[in-house]
Structure 1
Amino acid sequence: MGIRLPFMVLHAKQILKSTSQNVHNRNKYNVPKGHVAVYVGELQKKRFVVPISYLNHPSFLDLLNHTQEEFGFNHSMGALTILCKEDAFITLTSQLSAS
């Protein structure tokens, strides 16, 4: 498990880099510096913008690890996609922002 976490962070950074290089997406989906857009949901995906610092938080890494183990990271959305219930993601990010 410890070996996969650096891989997931690296993969997330690669996705961010490729997404940020697309000028059309930059204009259409403006993401503030120091943040990352993620798509969350099981069937219908909702876009969230979260601080990049969340990518290093153990709880967020657990969520990424679970998503990677269950589904992989190759999704048609073309961005970081987290397959979990939206309510669970909101609860997690609320806890992270409060700490």
Structure 2
Amino acid sequence: MAIRVPRMIKKSFTSGDVPKGHFVVYVGENQKKRFVIPISFLNQPLFHDLLSLAEEEFRFEHPIGGLTIPCREDVFIDLTSQLRN
């Protein structure tokens, strides 16, 4: 079974290099990884579930300064892959 890595993983972007129509989230339980994802994900119910997790855990105090989503990286990649299809 092939594993498709979504295009949203953009490690080469710096903090000022986020393309128009995208935003940054940090994902992971211990080690946080930075992802640049399309704003269109905000319209998706599955992504709303992740935002609810972030709200429950962090409220408005995100430790890295950006939106932090408290889930495993592999779960996040699986979910965002579904959103792209």
In the superposition, the TM-score normalised over structure 2's length comes to: 0.77
Residues 1:28 and 2:14 are matched in the alignment = yes
Q: CA deviation at 1:67?
A: 2.0
**Partner residue in 2 for 1:41:** 28
* Contact 1:73 1:81 survives alignment (8 Å): no
Indicate the SS of the match to 1:89.
helix
Identity of aligned residues (%): 62
* Contact 1:41 1:82 survives alignment (8 Å): yes
**Partner residue in 2 for 1:19:** none
Indicate the SS of the match to 2:60.
coil
Q: CA deviation at 1:75?
A: 1.6
Moved over 3 A (4+): none
| Alignment partners' CA distance in 2, 1:95 and 1:65 | 18
Tell me, which stretches of 5 or more residues in structure 2 are unaligned? 1-12
Pairs within 5 Å for 1:1-99: 28-29=14-15, 30-98=17-85
Between the two structures, name the one with larger relative contact order (CA 8 Å, sep ≥ 6).
2
User: CA RMSD for the aligned pairs?
Assistant: 1.5
Q: CA deviation at 1:41?
A: 0.5
Show CA shifts across 1:41-97 (max 9, x none): 011000001000101210000111122113323122111110100000000000001
**Partner residue in 2 for 1:13:** none
In the superposition, the TM-score normalised over structure 1's length comes to: 0.67
More helix by share: 1
| Alignment partners' CA distance in 1, 2:60 and 2:14 | 23
